[in-house]
């Protein structure tokens, strides 16, 4: 069975709670005897998942990143397809609330966007298959368990998929620094997908052309842009404010 690694306490706990059947083996750093370790190891024992205490060096050799003293080997997660997402949306009574990341390549940014998407109630995060970060162990760790709760959909042709969403009545709101409308003039209350561009370059031309509305985040200080994960959080929470209203 093919496997991948998940590390960091939040990420491992996310798999344990949401997809325990994927767990194959867990390694915990020697010297840790706190309540969190006891809770996790008891849960692993109840599931019959083998775990062992090892020196930090072994964890360092297994993964590249701040593992916080825990690494898990898990079965590869099933990737959502375009059809999976369209089927879920058509069968849901809730108006679609989606996040599209057009070419975000930094796994830290992807993980942070997933974490915020989960908190804001986003139903799925959509990215193009090419030139975009995937769910690496680093992205999963930064997502703090959200990678196991928010469907992550990689699409072959983003422009075509955006057209399919529009055909379903989803309003596409894209962010662009030169847009005349601000975030606070956009209507996020109905079926909507927020489209964020890549770090530095922003949205690609075809993606921009498929958006129904372009907006910008007001900036009153000296810097002229925000990190993409921060900008995503600002926009998603304005959308959530409106949807809760």
Asked if pLDDT for residue 83 goes beyond 60, the answer is yes
Question: Does residue 28 have a known ligand-binding role?
Answer: no
> H-type helices in 68-106, by residue range?
82-90
Query: Would you say residue 59 has pLDDT above 90?
Result: yes
Q: Which of 34, 54, 75 is the last residue of a domain?
A: 75
Same domain, 202 and 103: yes
69 is in an annotated binding site: no
158 is in an annotated binding site: no
Q: Which of residues 31 and 171 earns the better pLDDT score? A: 171
pLDDT, tens only, 107-124: 999 999 999 999 999 999
Q: Are residues 163 and 216 in the same domain?
A: yes
Top pLDDT among 184 and 32 is at 184
In this predicted structure, the answer to whether residue 3 has a pLDDT above a threshold of 80 is no
> Mean pLDDT over residues 67-82, rounded?
89
Identify whether residues 142 and 35 lie together within a single domain. no
Do residues 120 and 161 both lie within one domain?
yes
pLDDT band for position 125 (50/70/90)? very high
Give me the domain span that covers residue 150.
Answer: 82-244
Residue 162 CA neighbour count, 13 Å, CB half: 25
pLDDT of residue 2: 65
The structural domain count of the chain equals 2
Question: Do 89 and 173 fall into the same domain?
Answer: yes
Overall pTM > 0.75: yes
User: Based on the domain organization, do 86 and 119 belong to the same domain?
Assistant: yes
Average pLDDT of span 184-198: 96
* Residues contacting 59, CB < 8 A, separation 6+: 7, 27, 29, 67, 69, 70, 71
Run of H or E including 60: helix 56-62
Q: ∠ at Cα 152 (111, 188), nearest 5°?
A: 85
| For residues 2-7, average pLDDT | 83
Tell me which of 19, 46, 75 is where a domain ends: 75
63 falls in which pLDDT band (50, 70, 90)?
Answer: confident
Q: At which of 23, 40, 75 does a domain end?
A: 75
Nearest to 49 by CA among 68, 72, 32: 72
């Amino acid at each position: 069975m093919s496997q991948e690694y998940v590390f960091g306490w939040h990420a491992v706990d996310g798999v344990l709670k949401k997809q325990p059947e994927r767990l194959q083996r867990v390694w915990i750093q020697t010297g840790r005897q706190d309540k969190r370790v006891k809770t996790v190891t008891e849960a692993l024992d109840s599931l019959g998942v083998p775990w062992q205490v090892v020196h930090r060096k072994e964890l360092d050799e297994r993964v590249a990143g701040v593992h916080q003293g825990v690494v898990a080997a898990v079965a590869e997660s099933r990737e959502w397809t375009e059809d999976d997402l369209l089927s879920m949306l058509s069968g849901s009574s809730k108006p679609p609330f989606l996040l599209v990341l057009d070419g975000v390549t930094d796994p830290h940014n992807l993980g942070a966007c997933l974490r915020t998407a989960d908190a804001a109630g986003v139903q799925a995060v959509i990215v193009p298959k090419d030139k975009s970060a995937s769910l690496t162990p680093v992205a999963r760790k930064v997502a703090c368990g959200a990678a196991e709760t928010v469907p992550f959909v990689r699409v072959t042709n983003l422009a075509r998929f955006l057209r399919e969403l529009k055909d379903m009545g989803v309003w596409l709101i894209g962010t662009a620094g030169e847009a005349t409308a601000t975030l606070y003039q956009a209507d996020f209350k109905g079926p909507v997908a927020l489209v964020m561009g890549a770090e530095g370059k922003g949205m690609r031309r075809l993606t921009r052309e498929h958006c129904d509305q372009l907006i910008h985040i007001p900036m009153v200080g000296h810097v002229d842009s925000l990190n993409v994960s921060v900008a995503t959080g600002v926009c998603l929470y304005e959308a959530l404010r409106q949807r809760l209203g």
